[in-house]
Amino acid sequence: MSKILLIEDDVSFCKMLENFLVKKSYSVTTAFTAEEAKIKIKNQNFDLIITDLRLPNYDGIQLMSEFKSSYPTIPVILMTGYSDVNTAVKAIKNGAADYISKPFNPEEVLLVIANTLQIPNANLTNETIPNNNNKTKTADEETVLGISAASKKLAEYIKLVSPTDMSVLIIGESGTGKEVIAKSIHKNSSRKNNNFIAVDCGAIPKELAASEFFGHIKGSFTGAINDKVGCFEAANKGTLFLDEIGNLSYENQIQLLRALQERKIKPVGSNKEINVDIRIITATNEDLREAVKKGTFREDLYHRINEFSIQSPSLNERNEDLMIFADFFLDKANQQLNKSIIGFSPEVVTIFENYRWPGNLRELQNVIKRATLLSQGDFIEKNTLPIEVFQAENRTANDFSLFENEKEAILNALEQAKNNKSEAAKLLKINRKTLYNKLKQYDIN
């Protein structure tokens, strides 16, 4: 079993990476500071060192040089953000075995470690697929795990409810990935080998809803020139996902409720009932409880579809995951557009971290795909971004911004957070590592 010394000052991220590597049969010892790492390497033998490039009160390059001098046979892998990629490349010339740009996906970590330790295909799964820029990703194109508290809670809820047959209501702002959550529940359920059928209730005219849900037979109404299989029958033995269910008319709600209660449907124009075995997952970006109070949404249907509810967090609620998602969407854009963009310039990373992303993940994906198409170099630069990401909008008096008066904003956030840097970073809507860099930049103690 290969022994790894992992040096990373972000405790939650360090623990996540440690747990992942342990599951992949590596022995991992962690250190949160350079001083702690020096003590541990004196007392233990290691096959590999993985260290963050930026550590509090210590330079990662200097630490690597010291390790290479004292322990020349132990390879060192650097972990670095996009803003430090050029530094990492220089570090390789000075003795680093390799580097991993953060954020990264777990399979990339395994590949780099295997190459460094010269372990053929070590711990790699058959889901690993190479893409245009020599990184790796899992075969599930639509799922990416985050490290924020909101993402961890979401993953926990998905894991809990997926094996059951409970009806799930997903609540969240537009663009937060509600359909992706629904697909993840389906793929982790006993129905995963059967159909997942998604229906946008907001796009169905109320006159055609019965036909869309239950199908129709030829000649049952004007325009019915062929038999049609409805989404209930198409999803039989599988999962039916009804997006924006709050847009259904009251009459359509009654039809849906009856089908869910009886688990039988009757195509329009037919006298034959069809038994269906489906799991129902619904989604909404409005408050259905308020709609129930107003009488625009049936209370009995609300309780039928809401055996278990999941909140789909906004991008602002999972700001620690921003660049993880950005990297994921860049990989997808590279594949779709046949490009090989390496990453984002430091300027773009700062712009992304300061923007509020009202369109959430959908907006982030669209911005990155557009920028990938426009980019001519190795990195996405500022001039490829749309104008809206530079605009400060919907700010309140208590909202912190790093667009203007940056040092003052940081000082105010630290004061409100009582010098708790993690809390201050949340107020500023940046990650903790960025805050440390800003504190050093402005010489704030």
pLDDT one-digit tens code per residue, 10-39? 776 777 788 778 888 889 999 888 889 999
Both 183 and 305 in one domain: the answer is yes
Both 298 and 389 in one domain: the answer is no
CATH number of domain containing 90: 3.40.50.2300
Q: pLDDT-based confidence at 190, cuts 50/70/90?
A: very high
Show the domain range for 423.
316-441
Maximum distance among all alpha carbons in the chain?
A: 84
What is the share, in percent, of the chain residues with pLDDT greater than 90? 40
Both 191 and 273 in one domain: the answer is yes
Residue 135, domain member (yes or no): no
Both 107 and 157 in one domain: the answer is no
Element (H, E) at 137: strand 136-137
Both 329 and 411 in one domain: the answer is yes
Q: What is the DSSP letter of 376?
A: -
Both 197 and 111 in one domain: the answer is no
pLDDT tens for each residue of 281-295: 999 998 899 999 999
Least confident of 143-157, 195-209, 365-379, 430-444: 430-444
Both 375 and 244 in one domain: the answer is no
The C-alpha atoms of residue 288 and residue 241 are separated, in whole angstroms, by 17
Both 363 and 388 in one domain: the answer is yes
CATH number of domain containing 387: 1.10.8.60
The C-alpha atoms of residue 27 and residue 39 are separated, in whole angstroms, by 18
Domain count, the chain: 3
Residue 231, domain member (yes or no): yes
User: Which domain-ending residue is among 312, 330, 347?
Assistant: 312
Closest CA to 308 of 279, 277, 276, 286: 279
Least confident of 64-68, 112-116, 134-138, 139-143: 134-138
Residue 394, domain member (yes or no): yes
pLDDT for 83 beyond 60: no
pLDDT tens for each residue of 403-421: 446 777 788 888 887 887 7
Residue 351, domain member (yes or no): yes
Q: What is the pLDDT of residue 137?
A: 37
Both 335 and 272 in one domain: the answer is no
Residue 130, domain member (yes or no): no
CATH number of domain containing 211: 3.40.50.300
User: Which domain-ending residue is among 312, 340, 370?
Assistant: 312
Q: What is the pLDDT of residue 331?
A: 87
Please state, as a whole number, how many other Cβ atoms lie within 10 Å of the Cβ of residue 172.
Answer: 20
pLDDT for 425 beyond 70: yes
The C-alpha atoms of residue 165 and residue 156 are separated, in whole angstroms, by 17
Both 174 and 299 in one domain: the answer is yes
What average pLDDT does the chain have?
A: 83
Residue 141, domain member (yes or no): no
User: Which domain-ending residue is among 280, 312, 344?
Assistant: 312
Both 335 and 296 in one domain: the answer is no
Residue 115, domain member (yes or no): yes
Q: pLDDT-based confidence at 395, cuts 50/70/90?
A: very low
Both 192 and 285 in one domain: the answer is yes
pLDDT for 232 beyond 90: yes
Closest CA to 288 of 241, 240, 253, 251: 253
Residue 136, domain member (yes or no): no
Is 311 in contact with 172 (CB distance < 8 Å)? Answer: yes
- The length of the chain, given as a count of residues: 445
pLDDT for 243 beyond 90: yes
